[in-house]
Chain A
Amino acid sequence: MSGTELDRKGSDKDQEGETLLCVEHVSKVFPVKKRRLTAVDDVSLTLYKGEMLGVVGESGCGKSTLAKIIAGSLKATSGRVTLNGIEYPKLKGTAAKNHRRNIQMVFQDPLSSFSPRMKIGTYLSEPRRNYDHLPRSEAWREAGALLEQVGLPASFLDRFPHELSGGQLQRVAIARAIAIDPPLLICDEATGALDVSIQDQIAALLVRLIKERNIGCLFIGHDPALVRSISNRVAVMYLGRVVELMPSRLLEKEHRHPYTGALLDSIFDVYCDQSAEIRLLEGEPPSPLRLQSGCAFAPRCPQCTERCRRTVPELKDIGGGHFVACVET
């Protein structure tokens, strides 16, 4: 996949634009049988207007929890989240409801994002009818136009979700998400459940749409190659923490955190040396229930030193918009 570079990103804009989303020291702790599960641990991120920020990490690293906190469906245990300067998780009543239109989500499993008895047309007209009180017929007409924008025929309006393929459904889900022009779109593993060939098409569609409409996008995935190829910057998460944040062109060659290296080594590539031994990360990630002192990656890290086991590394700026949380760099 990394070989075929689609028309993506446009310019590698590292220059910082206007801040859209600001996540400051956000943590989420779930109580699990009198113990505490730290799903997201002191994460700070900034997303600029019109930017695609990728988030990668293995299963259970807190990516989806972070997405839910940003989408407002989970309350953070501590920390602040602001969109255009508004701390929206604190909003109440009508203000909260009206603010929801600003952040839309596309989920991993296309089929379960659809009510099985709702026609595609109804599904697509919902946001415009609910937020802008558009009459049914007008919203339906707009829904047809939306379908065409995501490359599907308007005749799909009368179909039911189970009559469409996964890729088609994901296009519809994207169409619904952009129907009300949200400033922020969150894609939670939006391509994770699709065939590789379809993944590429969906990714290309997303990039085109967010560029056309200047939407900021948080793209969560577990395939570093895909995430790198479509996003402007990439954040690498490990056990609830952001361990490295960099412009995505630096990911391949200039990453500094050992975990990022391990993650990249795990990518399979048709052009890779088939005879070379696959380097595996030793051991399982430690349970988020038992966070030890020091760097969370220390038990699996090949470069681990005594210092790593004692101090929790902070995200340090090493220049050029590159941040890394490792004691040894």
Chain B
Amino acid sequence: MSSYRKKAWMRFSLFMFLAVLFVLFALLAGFLAPKDPLTTDYGHMLEKPGAGHLFGTDQLGRDIFSRILHGGRSSLLIAFAVTGIVAAVGIFLGTAAGYAGGILDGVIMRICDTLMAFPGIIFTVALVSFIGTGLPNLILAMSLTSWTGYARISRALVLSVKNNVYIEQARLGGASGLRVLGVYIIPNILPSLLVNISQSIGSNLLTISALSLLGLGSPPPTPEWGLMLSEGKNFIYNAPWMLIFPGMVILVCVVIFNLLGDSIQDLMNPRENIY
């Protein structure tokens, strides 16, 4: 193994480890959290970070550290669910459009254009206020608006690969249409897509936070990172830790998933020393 590959592996392992750590923290919040995230304690309101409360407490005396651990569940769940749905639908439709061409291509791409004509977040806000808040609705609304990006990217990637001589070779070698797609096209476009997927986990986290900040995410007592930011903004002068800690967690999480995407790209590159 060359040093380039070794380095790529090391970086990938590191970021994968950190990402898994985040997910584990969220999953095991019930065991790890020192306090109940919903129990209010009016004797300890807006307490500074310290021994009793690692990250301090909020305006209702709830332990911020526990709320962050529990909040990871809904935040990460939504981010993963939306990314999964969006990637699956978008890649499927985009690849089909690029490979088949003709009418199918036209129809799918015009739908994309129509959806993309709206600013994404505004469309999501409109949808959520129309169908109501709540986890499933939030996932649905976010998925409906953002699959178009995947469809466009995968279509463009398929088009760039489709006219290569090796596709012609594949046909001569007896590969069926489906096999050409699965064996010759997808493996060559997947790395670029994987990068997108892992990076959009980060951006979806941010969108959820933004929606919660606007009051369209999870309803109030739920521990959720964006919602915590939204609540904290009223206390920015007397209790900045209410903003700092959830903000830091979102930041670190987004950065980790972005870097994970980068390291996947380096790892899946069969050529070395590309720099």
Q: Which residues of A approach B to under 8 Å, CB–CB?
A: 71, 73, 97, 100-101, 103-105, 107, 109, 112-118, 126-127, 130-131, 160, 162, 173, 176, 180
Does the CB pair A130–B172 fall under 8 Å? no
CB proximity of A15 to chain B, nearest CB, Å: 31
Does the CB pair A130–B165 fall under 8 Å? no
The 8 closest A-B pairs by CB, nearest first: A130-B174, A131-B174, A127-B173, A126-B173, A112-B165, A117-B187, A115-B166, A113-B165
Set of chain B residues within 8 Å of A160, measured between Cβ atoms: 270
Give the total number of A-B pairs whose CB atoms are below 8 A apart.
61
Set of chain B residues within 8 Å of A131, measured between Cβ atoms: 174
Cβ contacts A to B, 24 pairs, < 8 Å = A103-B172, A107-B168, A107-B169, A112-B164, A114-B166, A115-B164, A115-B170, A116-B270, A117-B187, A117-B188, A118-B183, A118-B184, A118-B187, A126-B170, A126-B174, A126-B175, A126-B183, A127-B174, A130-B173, A130-B176, A130-B179, A131-B174, A160-B270, A173-B169
In whole angstroms, how far apart are the Cα atoms of A179 and B14 in the complex? 44
In whole angstroms, how far apart are the Cα atoms of A160 and B269 in the complex? 11
- A97/B169 contact (C-beta < 8 A), A117-B187, A117-B270, A162-B270 known: no
Q: Return the contact of A105 from the options B172, B183, B187, B270 (Cβ within 8 A).
A: B172
In whole angstroms, how far apart are the Cα atoms of A180 and B175 in the complex? 14
| Besides A101-B174, A113-B169, A115-B170, 17 new A-B residue pairs in contact (Cβ under 8 A), listed by A number | A73-B168, A97-B174, A100-B172, A112-B164, A113-B165, A114-B166, A115-B183, A116-B188, A117-B187, A118-B187, A126-B170, A126-B173, A127-B173, A127-B174, A130-B179, A162-B271, A176-B169
Tell me the nearest residue of chain A to B166, going by C-beta: A115
Does the CB pair B166–A112 fall under 8 Å? yes
Set of chain A residues within 8 Å of B170, measured between Cβ atoms: 115, 126
Does the CB pair B184–A115 fall under 8 Å? yes
CB proximity of A179 to chain B, nearest CB, Å: 9
In whole angstroms, how far apart are the Cα atoms of A114 and B168 in the complex? 10
In whole angstroms, how far apart are the Cα atoms of A112 and B169 in the complex? 10
CB proximity of B49 to chain A, nearest CB, Å: 49
- A113/B166 contact (C-beta < 8 A), A97-B174, A130-B175 known: yes
CB proximity of A175 to chain B, nearest CB, Å: 12
CB proximity of A196 to chain B, nearest CB, Å: 23
Set of chain B residues within 8 Å of A73, measured between Cβ atoms: 168, 171
CB proximity of B191 to chain A, nearest CB, Å: 8
> Residues 152-177 of chain B: 1 if any A CB is under 8 Å from the residue's CB, otherwise 0?
00000000000011101111111110
Set of chain A residues within 8 Å of B176, measured between Cβ atoms: 97, 130
In whole angstroms, how far apart are the Cα atoms of A120 and B5 in the complex? 20
Set of chain B residues within 8 Å of A162, measured between Cβ atoms: 270-271
Does the CB pair A176–B171 fall under 8 Å? no
In whole angstroms, how far apart are the Cα atoms of A100 and B188 in the complex? 25
In whole angstroms, how far apart are the Cα atoms of A97 and B177 in the complex? 11
Does the CB pair A109–B188 fall under 8 Å? no
In whole angstroms, how far apart are the Cα atoms of A68 and B166 in the complex? 14
CB proximity of A162 to chain B, nearest CB, Å: 5
Set of chain B residues within 8 Å of A112, measured between Cβ atoms: 164-166
Set of chain B residues within 8 Å of A105, measured between Cβ atoms: 168-169, 172
Does the CB pair A115–B187 fall under 8 Å? yes
CB proximity of B158 to chain A, nearest CB, Å: 14
Tell me the nearest residue of chain B to A113, going by C-beta: B165
Tell me the nearest residue of chain A to B170, going by C-beta: A126
Q: Which of B37-70 contact A (CB under 8 A)?
A: none
> Residues 235-275 of chain B: 1 if any A CB is under 8 Å from the residue's CB, otherwise 0?
00000000000000000000000000000000000110000
CB proximity of B4 to chain A, nearest CB, Å: 13
Does the CB pair B165–A107 fall under 8 Å? yes
Set of chain A residues within 8 Å of B184, measured between Cβ atoms: 115, 118
Set of chain B residues within 8 Å of A117, measured between Cβ atoms: 187-188, 270
Set of chain A residues within 8 Å of B187, measured between Cβ atoms: 115, 117-118
Q: Which of B15-34 contact A (CB under 8 A)?
A: none
Set of chain B residues within 8 Å of A180, measured between Cβ atoms: 174
In whole angstroms, how far apart are the Cα atoms of A235 and B247 in the complex? 74
CB proximity of A265 to chain B, nearest CB, Å: 32
CB proximity of B2 to chain A, nearest CB, Å: 12
CB proximity of B40 to chain A, nearest CB, Å: 56
Set of chain A residues within 8 Å of B271, measured between Cβ atoms: 116, 162
Tell me the nearest residue of chain A to B268, going by C-beta: A117
Q: Return the contact of B173 from the options A71, A107, A176 (Cβ within 8 A).
A: A176
Set of chain A residues within 8 Å of B172, measured between Cβ atoms: 71, 100, 103-105
Does the CB pair B175–A109 fall under 8 Å? no
Set of chain B residues within 8 Å of A103, measured between Cβ atoms: 172
Set of chain A residues within 8 Å of B166, measured between Cβ atoms: 112-115
In whole angstroms, how far apart are the Cα atoms of A160 and B188 in the complex? 13
In whole angstroms, how far apart are the Cα atoms of A100 and B169 in the complex? 11
Set of chain A residues within 8 Å of B171, measured between Cβ atoms: 73, 100
Set of chain A residues within 8 Å of B164, measured between Cβ atoms: 112, 115
In whole angstroms, how far apart are the Cα atoms of A297 and B175 in the complex? 42
CB proximity of B150 to chain A, nearest CB, Å: 21
Tell me the nearest residue of chain B to A129, going by C-beta: B174
Set of chain B residues within 8 Å of A104, measured between Cβ atoms: 172
Tell me the nearest residue of chain B to A98, going by C-beta: B174
Q: Which of B107-129 contact A (CB under 8 A)?
A: none
In whole angstroms, how far apart are the Cα atoms of A126 and B183 in the complex? 10
In whole angstroms, how far apart are the Cα atoms of A73 and B164 in the complex? 13
Set of chain B residues within 8 Å of A127, measured between Cβ atoms: 173-174
Set of chain B residues within 8 Å of A118, measured between Cβ atoms: 183-184, 187
CB proximity of B227 to chain A, nearest CB, Å: 43
